[in-house]
Structure 1
């Protein structure tokens, strides 16, 4: 079985009247387990469309996505939903935490969505939060956390189902420089120690030192 994420000759276009507008043009990328890659490019270059296709949220017009051995074009909507929950960890620009849940319950909510919470799930959640420097914050609510702590909680939430692929969309957008470095360095450490295939879309050139490869996207085309 092919591990990691392989995107092969993916094109995405939209019909606008009689015109065909291309959002992505023949995009190919392969990310292995333990590899952390960045995709940078100006607004409107196709980065969001690319991440949506990589995350099984959007279907390509042409080409193929192979996520940990699953050809996404062959899957039903129900199977795609299962892949998003079990195989992909999403880290968004804002942490999107639930205001009335404490840090530990934020993480376990993902487990509840996929079934019941077992004792070992709780143990793993506490271990993750410990690794991310949040052990003293287990019972804290989002309004009691700093921006960096919220993003670290979001990283733990992305990892709780032990997904094979991590997709981060501008994870430092709302952070100052110190917190941004802290968060991306933690993502990089988790990716390598847990052997995840990870892609970070970012405008933040300061964060590229943590990545194994940097791709540029312009006008829907991806290049190294």
Structure 2
């Protein structure tokens, strides 16, 4: 089974004699082509979930499979490779590099993994054209609107053809119209490219784009009816 599966994941933060349980027996499976949302208040465990799903943080207990690979068994070097090749991140802010053009924002992802081939350049152009930025390839971040910057970040997250897309509050800095554009675009690309995607959000207006919705409170996950 491809995609991502978390089984009975618990994460406990220990500070001296005090411990805080951020996630408790957290189980979730997201298959290829599925777009799910996780909602919940601040401090509910959403960020911890994203860090564990993104191979940035190890669970205290439980299992995390990414494309059937148990990431707990991987070395730091192997985890770094998984993050680069199997996971696409979309953050609250677009995190674009100010000195790179829109096209180069995508190509730098390939450069991090080795070298840029002509096929990579074509794929980047295809992604950007698909999301409506075909005319903006050589523009810089300061020449783009907030929505265009976030769309660039979406295209960048697909650049390495990852298995999983993790979106952290992708509409946080956008007005309603732009927010709908961005989330509908993520949903469309997830379906078209058969990725497993999870969006963590406070924005309940965006949930209609998702196949399933989960709520997390005090580290406990429940599926919304």
Q: How far has the Cα of 1:65 moved from its partner?
A: 0.3
Distance in 2 separating the partners of 1:87 and 1:19: 35
Q: For residue 115 of structure 1, what is the aligned residue in structure 2?
A: 114
RMSD across aligned C-alpha pairs, in angstroms?
0.5
Listed one character per residue, the Cα deviations across residues 89-130 of structure 1 (whole Å, up to 9, x for unaligned) are 000000000000000000000000001000000000000000
Q: 2:21 aligns to what SS in structure 1? A: strand
Q: Secondary structure at the residue paired with 2:99? A: coil
Corresponding position: 1:94 with 2:93: yes
Structure 1 gaps of 5+ residues are: none
Q: Aligned partners of 1:164 and 1:211: how far apart in 2? A: 17
TM (norm. structure 2) is 0.98
Q: Which runs of 4+ in 1 moved over 2 A?
A: none
2 CA distance for matches of 1:94 and 1:20?
Answer: 31
Matched, 1:78 2:74: no
Residue 19 of structure 1 and its aligned partner are, at CA, apart by 2.4
How many Å separate the matches in 2 of 1:15 and 1:172?
32
Residue pairs, 1:1-224, within 5 angstroms: 2-224=1-223
* Structure 2: distance between partners of 1:112 and 1:17: 42
